Every structure is written in structure tokens, then in C-alpha cells.
Amino acid sequence: MESWTIENTSLNNQELLTNESLFSLGNGYIGVRGNFEEGYQEGMTSIRGTYLNAFHDITDIEYGEKLHGFPGKQQKLLNVIDAQTVEMHVNGERFSLFHGDLTDYKRTLNMKKGFVERSMKWKSNQGDVVKITSRKLVSFHTREFYTIEWTVEPLTSRPVDIKMVSRVNGDVANFSDPNDPRVASGHSKRSKVTGVKEANGCFVVENETYESCLKVACATSTSFYFDKYDYDFTLDNKGIEEVYTATINEPVSFVKSIVYTDTLRHGEQTVEKAIEILNEERHVPFYEHLKRQENDLNQFWSTADITISGDEELQKGIRFNLFHLLQSAGQDEVSNIAAKGLSGEGYEGHYFWDTEIYMLPMFLMTHPEMAKKLLLHRYSLLDSARERAKEVGHKEGALFPWRTITGTECSAFFPAGTAQYHISADIAYSFIQYDLVTGDEQFFKEYSAEVLMETARLWLDTGHFYKGEFRIDNVTGPDEYTCIVNNNFFTNVMAQYNLEWAKKAFDRLKDYDHSLIEKLGVTEEEAARWEKAARTMYLPYDEERGINPQDDTFLQKAVWDFENTPSDHYPLLLNYHPLTLYRYQVCKQADTILAHFLLEDTADEETIARSYDYYEKVTTHDSSLSYCVFSIMAAKLGKVDKAYDYFMKTARLDLDNTHGNTKDGLHMANMGGTWLAIVFGFGGVRVKESGLSFAPNLPKEWGGCTFHVYYQGNVVQVEMEEAKTVYTLVQGNQLAFNHKGQSITATKDCVVTVTH
Ligand code: BGC
């Protein structure tokens, strides 16, 4: 059981802020930070937050100079109505973890059962001792619902007067930090309370955002389980307060049921809908919610879990990452996975390429139905991407925004934002991966083909033929320390693949379904141009070093003076002007190395090995999206120890707060990267048109490692050990795959053992 829980006893303010992210709970719709319900002490900082995926306001982007095509507005995920507050008074003295005498304090995140528990023994200044257990659960069963339970047990012989106060507060604002580009610098208060009322035993607070005019309703009800108590409530123009008082000599419990609805998903009848859902949930006992939650999680873990023997802390770290991925994944038509999930306000709740390249593969290969929803959401932004392409000056095609919630570009800094055109190819890549993994022809016909063709149009309109080669100028690759360059290798290979597949989509559809081709007006000539651009794509290669240069000029620049850069000057982006960084060979994150992972067949193994050695020396990993890629590629190159070192940096990045900013939210792409590093790295999994393959390479530190992958209706369990790999087909009848060059066919429940 141990390795299913994360435990903590710290009450240090800095660590509490980090813990608010680590102990956050979510279900893809609601996200609640791990705040203490009863509050903190004066002078302490807390980022108290509840978020609804995609629930945002619109703010103006202020520029000194606003040039043509710069976005004027952006979206911002909002902190919504705060329903977390539960206060307790014992014989008139308010309970707080920061005064009185605290013993046996422990906070536990249970990832198998999906709740957070705090248990503590507290002695008030007057000497009364109580045992308190609080539990919080954000439901996967009913996405609009979350609940808090407190049980209080007097441990002194005389009865105690207890007062439980529950509050709902609509007067909320976001957190801001003007000194950190990764956190919003202003616009913190973006919604107002529009209604507070009581309705048949429940309460409703309504808020409306200033600019987007979205509405959110929060319906709550509370119950106090004891024979005899007094109850009162008050409403004001900001929220609700309910008070229960009783004299107790035995354990009592208090339960708060909370439901959110909003106009993005529930239409205009948010209040009615919230009350309806609350009425269904509020009478369900807390233990029943726990049971439902565990059932839903069992379903998730059945294919998503990864076990590693020989390292308990690592095992926890991996489950922690997978659990938070699940908690963050939007599963409706308006939401996706934000860079920080639903655990904090960093990056303002925006969706980036992080989803498609780092997080989607885990869902795709363990729960493809969840991946499908994420892709459908991205597909729903296609029209905005078409508009954006026009705004930026393209005649046609779809340019997906670098960061967004509703589909419009929200990046105010175009060199490391809009210029990252590769996001359009990354999205196309994920639709291709979906096709390869699921073989879902209907999906391909209805969604993927359109994305592929519209993004192919973008590439043709962005690049140009020069001396027989197709080139792409003035874009930024993944590495944000090198901006606006010609022929970024990553962008060019990804665009090449995108173009090739657009032509394939055209050929595939033209034989049996013309509707999309007609709708988009694609001709044989246009498809032939895609093919030609792909075939003649210029992929920079440096003969002298035998590597792919990151772009046309990268290798001509001076190498950054790493030796004389003080360690406290990292991340460099917080200490150097971007232009300084752009002038040097210094990478924030994997760029060419990532291209070598995603499309490994575009370079030979020697080139990949040399590139790895070269770029490793100039990469700072200031982005958390970097280590996992180096880990995967080190594993591919047989440098398993190296792969392990990098892997260890991804696996517990948030748990150990190694980037120092976990308080602003978890690094979701890195969490997805952990899964990638195990499955694609140590497991050597690849999915190509030729099929599924494995190339296991177990780190010597592990006794074994087991994971599952879904492929075309089958699920195979893979058990890696030092001397052998055992494949068991746990779903499906027959699956052919490749193990380090050897063809294998597994049949249902039949165990295939390959010795190394
Ligand atoms: C990285 C980007 C990433 C973004 C959001 C930046 O620091 O450089 O690649 O998309 O964070 O996670």
C-alpha cells in the first residue's frame, strides 16, 4: 500500500505552497489546490485556488508597440468561487495547525483511492485535546462534484463545545507575480459575485467574469452528524456562512458537498443544473463516494499503472505523475490539459504542444478513449487555427496558436510563441499516432485527414522552394533560447512528415470518400505539391561534425560560457536578456534530439549518436520538457546509465521541487515525459506504419519493470527483467510485434518469454 501514497508532515510556509500543488486534487474539470480548509496564520502566503478547466476571462495584452497580427487579447484560467473553507472552534478557541500543540500530524495523498487525508491530534491553548481527520475527494464519477469530510473526536474526559463554520466565498482573485514570466503579472480580479441564495437546504453562489461573461454556479450543502446541535446561516453579497454548534463527548462528522457548473458546459441554467446534481450527490454517504472513486481509479490503473521493483520512492513518483495526468485531462468538448494541469495558475491555464507531444501518448497507449477526447478538443480549434493563419498573413492553412484556451493565440511574445510553428506539425503528428495506434478509420476520415491537410497547406504557404529544395524560414523550434531561425531541423522534419501524411490522407480518401476533399477543395495538383515539398524538404546536415544542426546558423554561433556561469544564474531566462541567449549555442531544451526521437528514421544511428553527444553539452534543461527526451535517446543509444540519470531527474521533479516553482503548479509535460521515458525509453516501444516494436533495456538499479500498452484493440503486458522480457496479451486475441528485430506473435493469455 505504501507506494500508493504520498505523505507529508511539513508546515513550513515555502513547502506548504509547494504542497498546495502536490496535494491538489482534480478530475479533468474541477481542480482544487491542497489548501488547508481552515486557513493559515496571519503573514503566511497561500495560493488558494479552485479552477474549472477552460473557465477563463479575457484580458487585454498590453504592448509598448503592437505590430500587425499581434494578438490583442488573451485568456486566463480563473480562480473560481472558493468553497473549501471549514473552520473549527473548540471551547471557543479556533483550531489552527499553527497554534496550540500539534501531534501526529500527517497529510496523505492516496492515489489508489483518490483522496487526500489529513490526520492530526491538537491540543488547544486551553488544554482541550481533539483528534481531527479531514478528507477531500474530487469525484471522477460526477465531474461537477467534490466533497470534504471532517471527523472530530474529543480526547479529553469532559465534553467539549464545538463549533464548525463552513463558508463559500465568491469574492476571489487570481495570484500574480510581476517578476516571473511563467506566472501572470496582473489582472488578478476577473469576476464578480452575481447571486447568493438559499434553495431548499442548499446554497448557491454565482459569479460572472468581467469580459468573457462566463458564469459559474457553486451549489453546496453541509451535514453535521450528531444527535443534538444548533444551526444557523447567514448570506451576504459575497457568499455564505453556515455554523453548527454542539457539545460533544464522542466523535462527530461534518460533510460538505460542492457542485460547480458553468456556462461553457451547462448552458444558461447553471444554477438549476448545479442544484440538480447536488441533490443527486449530497445524500450519497461519504464512504460510498470513496467506493465509487476507487472503482473509477481501478479502471484507470488497470492499464496505466507501471510497477518498478527495487525503488519505493521512485515507484511513488511514477504513480504520482500518472495520477496527476489523469486529474488534469479535460474530457469534454471545451477543455484539454493545461501546462500546469488544474494544480495551479502558472501559464494561466493555457494549452501548449505539451499535450500532444508529452502527455497524449500515455493516454493513447493506455486509455485511447481519453486520447480521442483530447484530440477532438484540438480538432474543435481548427477553425480558429485557420483564422489565425490568415491573421498572420497566410493565404490558407491552419496555424495552431502556441498557447490558448479557446483557440485564439494568447502568446504576447512572438519569438518564443507564435513563431513556434512546429506546434501545427506536432498536432498533426499526434493525429497520425492516433491512427497508427488505434486504426480508427472513421476518426481518420472525420477528423485527422482534415487536420493533416489544413496543416500541410500552412507548410506550403510558409516555406518555399529554393534550388530544388523546400525550406522553411523564420520560425522557432522547441528550444526557446534560439529564436526566429531558418530551417530549424525539428520543424522541417515534422513538417515533412505532416506533408507526407497529408498526401497519404488525400490518396486514402480519394478512393472511397470524396466529401472532405471536396469540402476543402483539395486537387490532385495540390496533393502533389505536398508530396514534392516533403520529398525535397531541406534537412540541414553538418558534414564536419556529422550531425544535424539545429538550424542554419546554430553551429556558427559561439558556445555559451557554461564554465563561468554561476549556478544561481539558472534558469538563464530569468537572468539574461533573450537576445543574449539567442546569440549563443545554448539550448533551453531538447530540440534536434527530440526530432531524432519522434522521427528516428530521418537520420542514421551514428548521426543520432553524435547529435546526442553534441547537444547534450549545450543544453541547460531549463525547461522541464528536456530531461525525459535525453533519457529516451540515451536508452536508445544503449547508454542506459545515462538514461537512468536523466530519468531520475524527471521522475520526482515536482515531488522534490527541483525546478523551484512547483508552487505555481505541476509540470505536466514532464509528468507525461516520465511515462515516455519508461515506455519509449527503457521499453524501447515504437509505433510506426510497420507496426509495434519493443527494445527493452532495463536499468541495472531496477529488479524489474512492468507496463501495459494498447495497440489496435489489444493490450499487452510487458514485464522487463534483466535476463528476459515477458509479454502477455491481456486483451485481444492475437498481436504481432517486433522485439529487437525478432518477430513475435502473442495470443490471448499466452505468455511469451524472450531471454536476452
Ligand atoms: C517550454 C515550452 C513549453 C512551455 C509550457 C516552456 O518553458 O520551453 O516548450 O511548451 O514551457 O510548458
Q: Domain of 177: which CATH number?
A: 2.70.98.40
Nearest to 687 by CA among 367, 371, 508, 438: 438
Ligand 1 pocket check for 620: Cβ under 6 Å? no
Domain count, the chain: 1
pTM for the full model?
0.97
Pocket residue to mutate for ligand 1, from 180, 183, 354, most atoms within 8 A of Cβ: 354
* pLDDT the model gives residue 187: 74
* pLDDT the model gives residue 1: 53
Q: Which three cell numbers stand for residue 414?
A: 512572438
Ligand 1 pocket check for 209: Cβ under 6 Å? no
Residue ranges making up the domain that contains 184: 2-301
Ligand 1 pocket check for 623: Cβ under 6 Å? yes
Ligand 1 pocket check for 587: Cβ under 6 Å? no
* pLDDT the model gives residue 179: 73
Q: Catalytic: which of 144, 241, 450, 480?
A: 480
Give the dihedral of Cα atoms 104, 106, 111, 112; nearest 10 deg: 10
Question: Mutual orientation of helices 449-462 and 489-510 as an angle, nearest 10°?
Answer: 130
* pLDDT the model gives residue 749: 78
Q: Which atom of ligand 1 is closest in space to residue 420's alpha carbon?
A: 9
Starting at the edge strand that comes first in sequence, how are the strands of the sheet with 145-154 ordered? Answer: 5-8, 101-110, 115-123, 129-138, 145-154, 252-262, 215-225, 202-209, 191-199
Tell me how many degrees the CA angle 605-610-613 measures, rounded to the nearest 5. Answer: 125
Question: What confidence tens digit (pLDDT) does each residue in 235-283 have?
Answer: 999 999 999 999 999 999 999 999 999 999 999 999 999 999 999 999 9
* pLDDT the model gives residue 9: 95
Active site annotation includes 480: yes
- Helix, strand or coil, per DSSP, at residue 59: strand
Residue 659 falls inside a structural domain: no
Residue 569 contacts residue 535 (beta carbons within 8 Å): no
* pLDDT the model gives residue 182: 67
Instruction: Read off the amino acid at residue 422.
Output: H
Question: What confidence tens digit (pLDDT) does each residue in 124-140 have?
Answer: 999 999 999 999 999 99
H-helix or E-strand spanning residue 630: helix 627-636
Please state, in angstroms and as integers, the Cα–Cα distance from residue 54 to each residue in 20, 31, 300, 344, 351, following that order: 20, 11, 23, 13, 9
Please state, in angstroms and as integers, the Cα–Cα distance from residue 647 to each residue in 588, 589, 633, 640, following that order: 17, 15, 11, 10
- Helix, strand or coil, per DSSP, at residue 747: strand
Q: Provide the CA 111 distance to its chain's centre, in angstroms.
A: 17
Nearest to 399 by CA among 480, 329, 498, 483: 498
Residue 80 falls inside a structural domain: yes
Q: Which residues, 6+ apart, have CB-to-CB distance to 479 below 8 Å?
A: 550, 587, 588, 589, 590, 591
Pocket residue to mutate for ligand 1, from 623, 627, 629, 654, most atoms within 8 A of Cβ: 623
Nearest to 335 by CA among 346, 348, 350: 350
Q: Which residues, 6+ apart, have CB-to-CB distance to 577 below 8 Å?
A: none
Residue 264 falls inside a structural domain: yes
Residue 238 falls inside a structural domain: yes
Ligand 1 pocket check for 323: Cβ under 6 Å? no
Question: What confidence tens digit (pLDDT) does each residue in 352-381 have?
Answer: 999 999 999 999 999 999 999 999 999 999
Buried b (16+ CB within 10 A) or exposed e, 681-691: bbbbbbbeeee
Residue 430 contacts residue 357 (beta carbons within 8 Å): yes
Instruction: Give pLDDT < 50 ranges for the chain.
Output: none
Residue 591 falls inside a structural domain: no
- Helix, strand or coil, per DSSP, at residue 269: coil
**Phi, psi angle pair for 193, to nearest 5°:** -80, 130
Residue 614 contacts residue 343 (beta carbons within 8 Å): no
